[in-house]
Chain A
Amino acid sequence: MAFEIIESCVNCWACEPLCPNQAIYEARPHFLINPDKCNECAGDFEESQCVSICPIEGAILNDLGLALNPPGSLTGIPPKKFAELQAAQRAA
C-alpha cells in the first residue's frame, strides 16, 4: 500500500513537508515516494496529504496505477480542451 509520484510532478515542494512518514523526498527529475515508508496517511489523517495538496492532475498514482486526482478534477479544465492545447503546441 503506497502511492507513486510520476513525471508530471512540477517539483513544487507542497507535499514534502506534509507527509507524516517523511516518505516523500526531493529527487531529479521529480520528487519521489519511498514505498516502504508510505502508508497513504492511514491512521494519521482522514485524507492522504500529498494527494490533497498536489496541484497537478495525474501526478500521484495509487497502487493500481490510477490517478488520484484525475484530469479535470482540480482545475475544472475539460480534459479535451487541455489535450487540444497540447496538440496545438506540439504542432507549432
Chain B
Amino acid sequence: MELPVLNNIAPDTSKDGCSAGSCGSTSDQMNHLPEHIREKVFNHPCYSEEAHHYFARMHVAVAPACNIQCNYCNRKYDCANESRPGVVSELHHPVQAVKKVLAVAATIPQMTVLGVAGPGDPLANPQRTFETFRMLSEQAPDIKLCVSTNGLTLPEHIDELTKYNIDHVTITINCVDPDVGAKIYPWIFWKNKRIKGREAAAILIEQQQKGLEMLVARGILVKVNSVMIPGVNDKHLEEVSKIVKAKGAFLHNVMPLISEAEHGTYYGLTGQRGPTHDELQALQDSCAGDMNMMRHCRQCRADAVGLLGEDRGSEFTMDKIEQMDINYPEAMKMRAEVHAAINEELESKRLARESKVQLVNIQGVQNKEVTRPVLMAVATKGSGVINEHFGHAGEFLIYEASPEGVRFIGHRKTTPYCEGGDTCGDGESVLDKTLKVLAGCEVVLCSKVGIEPWGPLEAAGIQPNGEHAMEPIEDAILAMYEEMRTAGKLVQKSAEQQMAA
C-alpha cells in the first residue's frame, strides 16, 4: 500500500468534492502554492517544514528595547543555557551584527535567512534594526531578511520595511479581543505614555491588524505567531486563526507557553501552566482546517544560529568573529553552489513524491482498509533523513502515519541520553525523561539505538528501530506503518476499539 506524504500547508486549490488524501491534492501541498509564494518559502526554514531540514537561519540581537510588556516575558533575563525567545547572551551594534552575519554565512553556507527578533521588539529599535538591514542588503544580497514584531509600531514603519527587500514578517498576535489581551499584556508604551489594561490591549490589537493588512497589501509574506495560554486564549486562538487567514496571513504558528517559575515571569510566578503536547496538537489541528499551520517552530533565542533544532551561537561570539578573515564575495560563490545542490535534491524529492501520488490515485483508494493512526518519533540531524543516534538526540520529530498518509505533528525536546563523561551517571533518569517525552509514540526511528535503552523503550510500548538509517524520514515511516499493518498491529487495536464502543 502506497501512502501519500502530507504536510501542513493547506492546498491552494479547493478541496470540494474529494476527501483529503484520496485525490492527491493534499499530498504535497507545497506544490500547490502559487509559484511566487513557493519561490519565497522553499528555502526559508521558518516558513517551510521541508526547508527546515536543510536550511539554517540566524538571529542577530540588535534590538534590546521593547514597547510592551507580555506576561510570559521577563526583561531581566539573559542566559547562555536557555533556549527560548527574548533570551540573548551578547547584544550587538549593527556593525558588529553585520560582521557576525557574514562570518556565519561564510561558515554555514546552508544559512539562508537572517532575522531580527529581539531580545526586545525590532521595531521599537528602528534605527538599529534598519541600519542592520540596510548594510546587509548591500553586503550580502544572497541572504533573505526577515523581522519578527509585536506589531505595535508596524504601521508607522511599513514604508521603511519595504525598502530592504524584506519579504517575510512575523507578527505575534495572541488575541483579537481586548478583554483577552488585558490578561496577556499589562502595559504598552504608546504616543509618549504608558497605557495599561484593556485600553492598552485594544490599541495593540488595532495596530497589529492594521499592520497585517498593510503588509499583505504590499505583497509581503506574513506569518502569525501565537502563544497558547491555557485558560486565557486557548479557545480564542481558533478565531484569531480565522481572522488572520482572512486578512491574508500565510502561516499560523501556535506555540506553547513557556512558564517555568525560575524564569521569573508573571505567568511563571503565578502558576499559569503551559499546554500539554496533546492540547497543543488539538488546537493546531482545529486551526488547520482554515489555515496553514507551522508545527516545526523551536521557539528559538533572539541570537540563535544554525538549523532550527540546533544552536551554534557559541562558535560565533564577538571575540571569535574578530579572528575570522571573511571574503564574502568568495563565500557567496560557494554558498550558491551549496544552495544549488540542496535545491536539486529537493526537486528530485518533489518529483519522486509526485509520481508516488499518481500511484496512490491509481491503486491507493481501492484497497484502503481501516487502520488506526500511529505516532512515530524520529531522530534526525537534518537533511530530511534518519541520521541521529537515539542517545545523541536532543529532540525528536513526531509524525503521524495513517491511511491518509504521513504528517508532521511537531517536535519534543529532551536531554540526550548519552552525553558521555560527567552526565552518564544520570543516564537512567535522563532515559526516564525521554520515555515521558515519547509518550504516545509507538515507534522511535533512529540511525542507531543502544542495547541499554532498548528494553525500557519496548517496555514502554515504544518500538526502537535502527534499520532505516539514512533513509528519508517519510519513506521510513511509511515502511514502518506498512510493516505494522501486515503484522496485523493496526487493525487489531481498531477492532478492539470498535468492540469497546
- Which A residues contact B (CB, under 8 angstroms)? 8, 10-14, 17-18, 45-47, 49, 52-53, 55-56, 74-78, 81-82, 85, 88-89
Contact = CB atoms under 8 A, between A and B. Distances in A.
Given A14-B124, A55-B75, A75 B67 contact: no
Interface string B187-211: 1010011100000000000000000
24 contacts: A11-B91, A12-B64, A12-B66, A13-B125, A14-B65, A14-B66, A14-B120, A45-B192, A46-B192, A47-B192, A47-B193, A47-B194, A52-B192, A53-B67, A53-B189, A53-B194, A55-B66, A74-B187, A75-B266, A76-B71, A77-B264, A77-B269, A85-B261, A89-B262
Contacts of A89: 262
B76 interface: yes
Contact of B186 (A14, A45, A74, A88): A74
Contact of B64 (A13, A52, A53): A13
A88 B261 CA distance: 11
Nearest to B125: A13
A43 to B, nearest CB: 13
B178 to A, nearest CB: 17
B299 interface: no
A52 B270 CA distance: 25
A85 B264 contact: yes
B192 A55 contact: no
A13 B65 contact: yes
Interface string B54-97: 00000000001111010100011000000000000001000000
A76 B266 contact: yes
Contacts of A14: 64-67, 120, 124, 189
A5 to B, nearest CB: 14
A76 B186 CA distance: 7
A30 B162 CA distance: 35
Interface in B87-136: 91, 120, 124-125, 127
- Tell me what chain B mostly uses at the interface: helix, strand, loop, or mixed: loop
A18 to B, nearest CB: 8
B120 A56 contact: no
A77 B266 contact: yes
Contacts of A75: 69, 71, 186, 266
Contacts of B194: 47, 52-53
Interface string B434-469: 000000000000000000000000000000000000
A89 B120 CA distance: 25
B192 A74 contact: no
Interface string B400-441: 000000000000000000000000000000000000000000
Contact of B192 (A12, A49, A85): A49
A87 to B, nearest CB: 12
Contacts of A13: 64-65, 125
Central interface residue in A8, A10, A12, A88, by most chain B CB within 10 Å: A12
A10 B187 contact: no
Contacts of B186: 74-76
Chain A to chain B: the 7 pairs with minimum beta-carbon distance, closest first: A14-B65, A52-B194, A55-B75, A12-B64, A53-B189, A81-B269, A13-B65
A14 to B, nearest CB: 4
B284 to A, nearest CB: 29
Central interface residue in A47, A52, A75, A78, by most chain B CB within 10 Å: A75
A76 B187 CA distance: 10
Contacts of A8: 76
A45 B194 CA distance: 12
Contacts of A18: 192
B69 A55 contact: yes
Contacts of B187: 74
A14 B72 CA distance: 19
A10 B69 contact: no
B76 A52 contact: no
A84 B15 CA distance: 55
A17 B127 CA distance: 10
Interface in B238-265: 261-262, 264
Contact of A12 (B75, B127, B261, B262): B75
Contacts of A76: 71, 186, 266
A85 B67 contact: no
Contact of A81 (B65, B120, B270): B270
